[in-house]
Amino acid sequence: MIKMIALDLDNTLLNSEKEISARNERVLKALHDRGTHVVLCTGRPINAIWPYIEQLGLTRPDDFTITFNGGLVINNVTKEHMFELGMAKQDLQPLFDFVKEEHLPLDVLDFAKVYELSDQPGSIYRTVLKHIEFQNTPMADLPDTTFSKAVMAIPAERLSKVIAHLPAELKERYHAVQSQEMIMEFLPKRVDKHVGLKALLDHFGDDFSNLMAFGDADNDLGMIKAAGQGIVMANGLPEVKAAATALTDSNDDDGVATYCERYFADQLN
């Protein structure tokens, strides 16, 4: 029995205008009202997606969000951290060495703000991520705190070339995923959306057989594989589609609603 619906945002729940359509909103609100946990799963902090949380009415005491690609499970009301997994500053040194050698920008995130490395070339991450504090910081002055991830945000054509020649050491040390065509994320090795979802399912006394997950990209693959119902959008990547339980319409054709209306037909009538 599906008790939880996990939803990636970009190119999944959100259309090309970065909006939740009226149809998707209506269907998800109806399922939420009937007791299904609706959980947004994103690489962004909760403040950056708060308008979507409010739009769907996910503001009850038992509503949670998976942020930082599974590195943080946060209560939507109290903002308490139910689960978190991050990295120390020294864990990022191999990545620092790489971007210095290749003259690449890098943004480093804790669980509250973004540190844009000011002694590296300028990043385009500010144009992508809203509703969070950015702080220009030299690499040497980064605080000794727990970091959620590091992000390389550069034009898509250049990023594809960087990814093609990414050193094996970085692939082995980090969970490196491309979340958007212009964004490469470097996460703690164990961090994945399915890790955060497992913590949340455990909290509710459920397991992955009770989960329906929607996604499209590499950073959704873990939860798509783990979920009892792993649904991939028509616009999803081929390797993610290959792991799906089922496919649905594209993000611009209300694919989330299309599948839910069919699967939960008895609850939505």
Do residues 85 and 191 touch, judged by C-beta distance below 8 A?
A: yes
Tell me how far CA of residue 4 lies from CA of 72, 83, 195, 200, in angstroms: 17, 18, 15, 10
| Among 81, 148, 154, 83, residue whose Cα is nearest residue 109 | 148
Name the burial class of residue 142, with classes exposed (0-12), middle (13-18) and buried (19+) by CB atoms within 10 angstroms of its CB.
middle
Distance CA 172, CA 191 (A): 13
* Active site (catalytic) residues: 8
Tokens of 223: 């939860």
Q: In terms of Cα–Cα distance, which of 86, 87, 88, 89 is closest to 139? A: 89
Alpha-carbon distances of 99 from 93, 121, 185, rounded to whole Å:
10, 9, 13
In sequence order, what E strands does the chain have? 4-8, 37-41, 64-67, 72-75, 81-84, 107-109, 113-117, 133-137, 149-153, 174-180, 183-188, 211-215, 229-233, 246-248
